[in-house]
Amino acid sequence: MNWLKSLSIVLGIAALSMVVAAFYWRQHGDVATGRLLAQNNCGVCHDLTANKANERGPYLWGIVGRPAGSAVGFHYSDAFIQRTQASDIHWTEANLERLLDDPGHFMPNIAMTQRKSQHALAFEGIALRDNRRDLIAFLKTLH
């Protein structure tokens, strides 16, 4: 085996392990990026801390795995209650992905997506799959 051949094998292995590492990282999401995304996209309506304060939206502490509609003391909208009564929803990673991808489709007419006169803001979803994955990786740390 000449040196060129062994060099290309070494480089090949290095490239392959980088692809595997990148794939693993994308599968699991990046918590630091997710934290920034959450502060910018959710923090305006949701408390992300262990204070468990209800703001315009319910607190998100412990959200992953929590049954939908279970924030203590939060007054959920009729649309939200109807949706959770129609089918028992837990905030699994898969359901969070559905909510963040297309909130109006997964939970039609909930207060999170409504633009009210006193609240100019409404949540319209997170367009990029990688961003949603990073967000959920961060939400998993809130416990």
Residues of the shown chain interacting with ligand HEC in the complex, contacts defined by CB under 6 A: 41-42, 44-46, 56-58, 60, 63, 68-71, 76-77, 79-80, 91, 99-100, 110-112, 121-123, 126, 135
Q: Are 103 and 125 in contact (CB under 8 A)?
A: yes
- Give min distance, CB of 4 to ligand HEC, in A: 51
Q: Are 39 and 33 in contact (CB under 8 A)?
A: no
CA atoms within 13 Å, Cβ hemisphere of 132? 17
Minimum CB distance to ligand HEC smaller for 33 or for 70: 70
- Give min distance, CB of 124 to ligand HEC, in A: 9
Minimum CB distance to ligand HEC smaller for 1 or for 120: 120
Q: How far apart are CA 51 and CA 93, in angstroms?
A: 23
**Alpha carbon 143 to chain centroid, angstroms:** 15
- Give min distance, CB of 43 to ligand HEC, in A: 8
Q: How far apart are CA 96 and CA 112, in angstroms?
A: 14
Q: How far apart are CA 61 and CA 34, in angstroms?
A: 15
Minimum CB distance to ligand HEC smaller for 42 or for 137: 42
- Give min distance, CB of 6 to ligand HEC, in A: 49
Minimum CB distance to ligand HEC smaller for 28 or for 56: 56
